[in-house]
């Protein structure tokens, strides 16, 4: 059994406004990333990344650029043998992304400026060991996803080897770290079965196996308050005979969210991001900066649409899109 790749996803590098003393959330995420580079160098394998390297899709702010770009360049300088193959997530894209009208991608910008950083949006690559990879970036509302999957299939047919499909989307039936089923434009797991030996999908932050050979990778760091109690992961991929094997490696998050209702519950751990949670029976307090989880809002939206008896799929999709756009600017998400 030979290791052939390390897979990570959804890092959401960002100079957060909340729970980010001295920029430690971004620095600890970069420390984790360096640890992955070290492992890749020792094993002589590439890193595969399934989208959302950054967090703010409309434009990177100067603090994020100043904190991230120099450190990324240093990583590739320190580990010159490591190659990084990435696709663009929705948070990496400047505008709505379509097959016939691609958005500017910040991941693409890095690929244009760093030698060993490779963009895989709607393209593929075959390694010397015979492993082939193909990447499908986030497509707005999964528009033309069937055409994108056909492109991937055509690429793999020409490669007589084991293969991995990287995507950034939602698989129907997946749940997020808060336990809620994700309600947004999605693709069925049956539509993904058999296209590749492994289909590894970013976007949803909870690691989960959706079907044979089909996985939501999950985030390797805590991004949202609802990640509390969830242990992030990264994946080691092994080639064993005529198949690929996924080995899930748990990560002890360097910065974790915990909620409290009584200040006595708190400790002074520098790695804990404490969030004040108001007790259900306490109406005397209000916490203005407590992050709102989009899945809670989506549940309310679903109930609202059901009450209004809205059945048109386009109207429903537009409503969820507005909700997503509204919450993207909450830097606590």
Cβ atoms of 91 and 57 closer than 8 Å: yes
Overall pTM surpassing 0.85 (yes/no): no
What SS3 state is found at 48? Answer: strand
Cβ atoms of 9 and 202 closer than 8 Å: yes
Q: How many CA atoms within 13 Å lie on the side-chain side of 63?
A: 14
Enumerate the H helices of 188-251 as residue ranges.
Answer: 189-192
2-257: in CATH 1.10.3720.10? no
Cβ atoms of 50 and 7 closer than 8 Å: yes
> For the chain, how long is the longest CA-to-CA vector?
66
Look-up of token digits 């050979």: 213
Picking from 328, 254, 260, 318, the residue whose alpha carbon sits closest to that of residue 292 is 328
Full pLDDT tens readout for the chain, 333 residues: 999 999 999 999 888 877 777 777 888 889 999 999 999 999 999 999 999 999 887 767 778 888 888 899 999 999 999 999 999 999 999 999 999 999 999 899 899 999 999 999 999 999 999 999 999 999 999 999 999 999 999 999 988 789 999 999 999 999 999 888 888 878 999 999 989 999 999 999 999 999 999 999 999 888 888 888 888 999 999 999 889 999 999 987 677 677 767 666 666 666 677 676 665 444 433 333 334 444 445 655 665 666 566 777 777 677 766 666 554 443 333
What SS3 state is found at 249? Answer: strand
Distance in angstroms (rounded) separating the CA atoms of residues 299 and 277:
20
DSSP state of 198: E
């Amino acid at each position: 059994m030979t290791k052939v790749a390390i897979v990570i996803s959804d890092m959401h590098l960002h100079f957060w406004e909340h729970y980010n003393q001295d920029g430690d959330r971004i620095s600890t995420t970069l420390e984790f990333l360096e640890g992955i580079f070290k492992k890749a160098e020792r094993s002589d394998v590439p890193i595969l990344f399934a989208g959302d390297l950054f967090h703010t899709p409309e434009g990177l702010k100067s603090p994020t650029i100043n904190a991230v770009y120099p450190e990324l360049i240093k990583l590739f300088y320190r580990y010159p043998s490591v190659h990084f193959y990435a696709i663009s997530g929705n948070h990496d894209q400047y505008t709505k992304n379509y097959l016939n009208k691609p958005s500017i991608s910040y991941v693409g910008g890095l690929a244009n400026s760093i030698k060993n950083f490779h963009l895989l949006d709607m393209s593929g690559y075959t390694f010397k060991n015979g492993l082939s990879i193909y990447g499908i970036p986030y497509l707005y509302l999964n528009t033309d996803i069937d055409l994108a999957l056909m492109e991937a299939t055509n690429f793999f047919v020409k490669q007589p080897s084991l293969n991995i499909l990287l995507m950034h989307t939602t698989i129907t039936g997946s749940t997020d770290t808060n336990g809620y089923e994700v309600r947004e434009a999605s693709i069925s797991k049956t539509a993904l079965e058999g296209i590749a030996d492994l289909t590894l999908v970013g976007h949803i932050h909870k690691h989960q196996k959706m079907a044979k050979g089909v996985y939501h990778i999950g985030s390797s760091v805590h991004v949202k308050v609802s990640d509390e109690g969830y242990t992030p992961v990264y994946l080691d991929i092994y080639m064993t005979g005529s198949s690929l094997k996924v080995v899930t490696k748990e990560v002890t998050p360097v910065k974790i969210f915990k909620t409290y209702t009584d200040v006595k519950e708190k400790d002074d751990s520098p790695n804990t991001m404490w969030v004040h949670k108001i007790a259900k029976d306490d109406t005397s307090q209000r916490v203005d900066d407590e992050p709102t989880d989009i899945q809670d809002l989506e549940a309310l939206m679903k109930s609202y649409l059901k009450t209004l008896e809205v059945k048109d799929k386009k109207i429903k999709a537009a409503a969820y899109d507005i909700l997503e756009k509204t919450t993207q600017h909450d830097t606590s998400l």
